[in-house]
């Protein structure tokens, strides 16, 4: 019962959206495209429905979900009070778009499973015609994490969703590949500053431009000790391909490629199937069983757009040992590096 709109006419698309909205209202889960990644939606006011999201994804229940709406007026029903003035300015500038704001939640207005028991809720208006049409047709606030199995790379195509969750959800609305490719930027307002809780589709630079008079704070940047891989601390299992992965950083692309080649040759000699994640401009420098490019360094937004499909490609290729070249940690590159480091369990080699 998957509602496809990928190749059909306008009428089949409208029908698929109406069908998907009906499923949401009935308390089913439905995957749908947004401008960032595909989301797995459920009626945020219905705990049984939201429970279905956690079950399908295998998601730990202490990780709260983002609520999606089509119109700012819908916020009044579940946000407590008026959002802080800087947050309202960000909503004016970036909604609809890849920005999630954390605001106080109105007691009892959404399922406690959505907020994971917190007194706040994350909310955004996605900038995608299919998402907006679906949200309007459903009429309810829709809780939606990324529509991947927990720990896997987020889905940027309907087939990624089907690979991970096929048969475990009410339906998939196919809206083609997503545009931004990494998730929304999550921000909160606290003690006179905007805090970036998760870098994403709206860059820190864009936030600062929109709020020149407000401090915008972000998590510490990538600073790694030279030479050795960082001691594996807490093992993250986010956005990760099945093979082991490490991120390689360095200023000289040729030296980086040379170091990678030696390390990959050694891995191959141990019987590993090797993978390299690189960029279009650097493809020719690399040798591995699978050399995959996420996009063009000259156009960083293409790297964000292609990142998750590239990570999934390693699983199709059966890669067991993967080295990923880092990219500049500015603009949208900040979000890309955040996801790469998580996929690598924070294991970094500086060449």
Q: Which of 5, 46, 100, 293 binds ligand TXA (CB under 6 A)?
A: 100
Give the C-alpha separation, 302 to 311, whole Å. 14
Binding mask 197-236 for ligand TXA (x = CB under 6 A): xx--------------------------------------
* Sign of torsion over alpha carbons 293, 295, 298, 300: negative
Q: Report whether 246 contacts 347 (CB < 8 A).
A: yes
Distance of alpha carbon 142 from alpha carbon 124, whole angstroms: 10
The answer on whether 198 is annotated among ligand-binding residues is yes
Task: Please name the residues in contact with 73: beta carbons below 8 A apart, sequence gap of 6 or more.
Answer: none
Tell me which stretch binds ligand TXA (CB under 6 A): 12-20, 60-68, 250-258, 328-336: 60-68
Whats the size of the chain, residue-wise? Answer: 351
Pick the binder of ligand TXA from 20, 186, 303, 341 (CB under 6 A).
Answer: 186
* 63 lies in the site for ligand TXA, by CB under 6 A: yes
Residue 120 annotated as lining a ligand binding site: yes
Nearer to ligand TXA, 240 or 323 (CB): 240
Q: Which does 111 bind (CB under 5 to 8 A by kind): Mg ion, ligand TXA, none?
A: none
Question: In whole angstroms, what is the distance from residue 155 CA to residue 16 CA?
Answer: 20
**CA 103, CA 142: separation in Å to the nearest integer?**
16
Locate all alpha helices (DSSP H) within the chain, ordered by sequence.
10-25, 47-57, 85-94, 112-115, 129-138, 158-165, 204-210, 253-269, 300-316, 333-343
The DSSP code for 84 is P
Give whichever of 12 and 120 is closer to ligand TXA, judged by the CB atom: 120
Q: Segment 125-184, which members bind Mg ion (CB under 5 A)?
A: 146
| Cα four-point dihedral sign 116, 117, 118, 124 | positive
Give yes or no for residue 5 binding ligand TXA (CB under 6 A).
Answer: no
342 binds ligand TXA (CB under 6 A): no
Q: Is 72 annotated as contributing to ligand binding?
A: no
Is the CB of 146 or the CB of 338 nearer to Mg ion?
146
> Alpha-carbon distance 133 to 130, whole Å?
5
122 binds, among Mg ion, ligand TXA, none (CB under 5 to 8 A by kind): ligand TXA
Could you say whether residue 50 binds ligand TXA (CB under 6 A)?
no
Q: Residue 33: which of 183, 165, 174 has the closest Cα?
A: 174
Q: Is there a binding annotation on residue 16? A: no
Number of residues near ligand TXA (by CB under 6 A): 25
The reply on whether position 65 binds ligand TXA by CB under 6 A is yes
Residue 158 or 264 with smaller CB distance to ligand TXA: 158
Nearer to ligand TXA, 98 or 333 (CB): 98
* Alpha helices by DSSP H, 139-217: 158-165, 204-210
Q: Which residues bind Mg ion (CB under 5 A)?
A: 146
Q: Which residues bind ligand TXA (CB under 6 A)?
A: 34, 36-37, 39, 63-66, 98, 100, 102, 115, 118, 120-122, 126, 144-146, 183-184, 186, 197-198
């Amino acid at each position: 019962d998957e509602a496809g709109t990928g190749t059909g006419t306008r009428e089949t698309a409208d029908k698929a959206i109406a069908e998907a909205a009906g499923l949401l209202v009935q308390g089913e889960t439905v995957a749908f495209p947004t401008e960032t990644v595909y989301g797995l939606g459920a009626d945020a006011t219905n705990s049984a429905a939201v429970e279905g999201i956690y079950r399908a994804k295998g998601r730990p229940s202490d990780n709260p979900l983002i609520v999606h709406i089509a119109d700012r007026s819908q916020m009044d029903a579940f946000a407590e009070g008026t959002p802080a003035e800087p947050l309202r300015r960000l909503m004016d500038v970036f909604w609809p778009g890849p920005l999630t704001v954390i605001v106080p939640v109105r007691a009892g207005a959404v399922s406690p499973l959505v907020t994971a028991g917190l007194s706040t809720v994350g909310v955004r208006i996605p900038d995608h015609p299919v998402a907006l049409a679906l949200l309007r047709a459903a009429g309810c606030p829709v809780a939606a994490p990324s529509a991947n199995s927990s720990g896997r790379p987020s889905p940027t195509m309907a087939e990624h969703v089907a690979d991970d969750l096929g048969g475990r959800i009410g339906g998939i609305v196919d809206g083609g590949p997503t545009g931004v490719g990494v998730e929304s930027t999550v921000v909160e307002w606290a003690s006179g500053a905007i805090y970036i809780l998760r870098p994403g589709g709206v860059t820190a630079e864009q936030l600062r431009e929109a709020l020149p008079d407000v401090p915008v704070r972000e998590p510490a940047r990538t600073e790694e000790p030279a030479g050795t891989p960082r001691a594996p601390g807490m093992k993250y299992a986010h956005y990760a391909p099945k093979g082991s992965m490490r991120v390689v950083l360095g200023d000289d692309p040729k030296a980086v490629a040379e170091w990678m080649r030696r390390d990959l040759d050694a891995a191959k000699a141990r019987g590993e199937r090797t993978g390299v994640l690189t960029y279009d401009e650097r493809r020719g420098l690399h040798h591995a069983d699978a050399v995959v490019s996420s996009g063009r360094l000259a156009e960083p937004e293409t790297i964000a757009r292609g990142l998750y499909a590239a990570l999934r490609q390693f699983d199709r290729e059966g890669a067991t040992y993967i080295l990923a070249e880092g990219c500049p940690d500015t603009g949208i590159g900040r979000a890309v590096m955040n996801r790469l480091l998580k996929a690598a369990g924070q294991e970094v080699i500086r060449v």
